[in-house]
A and B are shown apart, each in its own frame.
Chain A
Amino acid sequence: MSDVMLQEAISVAASLMLLISFALLAQHRLLSVLHWFAAQGVVLALTTLLVAVISGHYELYFSALMTLLLKGALLPWLIWRIIRKMHVHREVEPLVNMPVTMLIALALVLISFYVALPIERMSQLVTHNTLAIAIATVFLGMLMMITRKKAITQVIGFLSIENALFFTAVGATHGMPMIVELGVAFDVLIAAIIFGLFFTHMRNTFDSLDLDVIQEKSKR
């Protein structure tokens, strides 16, 4: 493949990342949120692979593979197990309704575009124009954490922020040093397991994963 084609492929992958971030926000059902989260992991792995081909950093091939296995398969599977065990796969309850959330999300994309503009002008990398999208996906993950009531959707939001940060790192600097990446990947894995335990405890103590209910009960 030529460089132009690779560059276009990266553009497509970046816009897919943005689309998936919006899809994560727009879902009503917990299981479809999870499916989109898995899709985000796969697209992230694909992007990493593309950047690896362009830049020729061999480490990136390894981290693409690791992303695919960890974020495309293992983490979604862990969360799926939690959802199945707790029988919470009903509605996602947003604090603000969907169209308003979408409008806020669009505004966030605009802001990140504005913020990233001067950095993009300085950068010499082939991936320089994906930076705005990378920052936007971080924002959208944060928005998802803020606007959801259920603990599980918040955790998926947190994990999607991590995905977005990884995407930012790959796009802005062609990846972090291997040791950092390994550490982060391991941390996220451990975090997912701890969240699982945490959910079980919350469930046992408060009989709910809805944070409003938990707040009410802990006041008493």
Chain B
Amino acid sequence: MSTGNGRLALPRPLRQQGAELDDRFHAAKGLRTLLRKVFPDHWTFLLGEIALYSFIILILTGIFLTLFFNPSMTQVVYHGSYTKLNGVRMSEAYASTLRISFDVRGGLLMRQIHHWAADLFLAAILCHLLRIFFTGAYRKPRETNWIIGVTMLGLGILEGFLGYSMPDDLLSGTGVRIAEGVLLGIPVVGTYASFFLFGGQFPGTEFVARFYIIHVLLIPGLLLALVSAHLFLMVHQKHTQMPGKGRTDRNVIGQPAYPYFAVKTGAFFFFVFGVLALLATFAQINPIWQVGPYTPVAISAGSQPDFYMGFLEGALRMFPSWTWDIGGHTVAWNVFVPALIVPGIIFTTLGLWPFMERWATGDHAYHHVNDRPRNAPTRTAIGMAGVTVYGICWLEGANDIIADHLQIPLYLTTEIARWSVLVAPIIVFWATRRICLGLQRRDAQMLEHGVETGIISQLPNGAFVEAERPLTEDEAAVLIARPPVPISPARDTDENGLPVPALRGARGRVQARVRSVYAEGISLAPPANGHGDGHAAVGNGHAAGDGGHTAVAGGTGAAEDEETPAGEDGA
């Protein structure tokens, strides 16, 4: 069925149905725009989608699990199909988890998909966050979405911990015990907080039921609302795009939502589900029957939490045993600082980061084209320093495993972690900045000279030269794409040459100093049109340009190379 111009005609029933809907919702115009909405493409844009689809899969598998899970701490003596635990006292929560694993067909699969999806959810959020951070995609106008994302990360970690705790097995119960110890460590209100959460002394008879309702209703509800807001803002403000030919802050280049993006993202949902199913099939996760039910009496060595709790676990392990006993009260710095202050600082800094950076740069412009990390050396360096601190804490969270496998003394791993968490971020900060600046120089050189081809030719006089090809338009577009005015001058001055009011005084001087540090490296202005202007930026004066160079380069159109000896010989 086709019309005169070769296009399909919408079948009559469908058209009628559409008309009925449009009569009521005035949807045609808005939906048409939505169908043709352009989505830019880059592999890192899939990270957020992984998180989204993991979340959907968590809801689907979670609903299945609620049909069989019994969130009760009533003690029962087990007599079920897993005979090894027959006669053992356990909570109904643990017994029903055994039932899901052994007596419900597909129960083990759903449990394992759910657990893997939780890990993937948080891993994807973390990677997504790093991508947004290092490309500066949180800048104006997307600060709100950044804060929503950071909030979802915090909620996701909490949600994961609660779900992990609900089966009431020995491993998760130990985690809950640690959480109780952390609550007790909060000055003034800690003991009360713990008693109110657990309905009395630990472990009590309440926490599984309370965790359950928070885990299946409260936090998923909040996450669902935040995910919706996150996606709505992403659509409303349009996606950022990576630098490239023709890509500016005024446009977005990519493929339309319908049919291209819709089919791609649908396929991606199936991939995420398929990979999680694959993991759940072949990579066993949380075999709770092996560790037995929780008892405060026992523990197994080598206890590790899920990966997303690792940084907190490591912080708890490495922090010194500082405690104050003053005025009849105990201040447990050894617990309070690593378990609550440190994550509090991390999340507050993350949430406020876009505004901190704006303060440091004075940059109030819209940004829809992402930065390449090298083009924002200070941001990248700060991010890498943060990743280093997180990574050391995370590794320290498994220091017993590391010590065992690498045959390092256990205490040494902690000592290394204690010192390196203070020293390594400084080194990483410095090194990252130098690497970024080096990469910028290389970009500038490539723009000026082209790409080395690896093809060596010998000249009649015996000298060797390497052929270079100029960058293609597409390649050059990526290298040139830098914010034209990335950072306002260190000292904004008014028409009389005086510092603007905001930058006067002590606070202004600090800000000006931060600005000049932050601005370093971005002063390597890229050449406007490939050749010529670049010389000043690279700043190694071979502008004298001897004849030998141009003679060689002329044939290919490639630029000269200051490192060949050709120039000297040709003279």
> Is A bound to B?
no
* Residues in chain A within 8 A of chain B (CB atoms): none
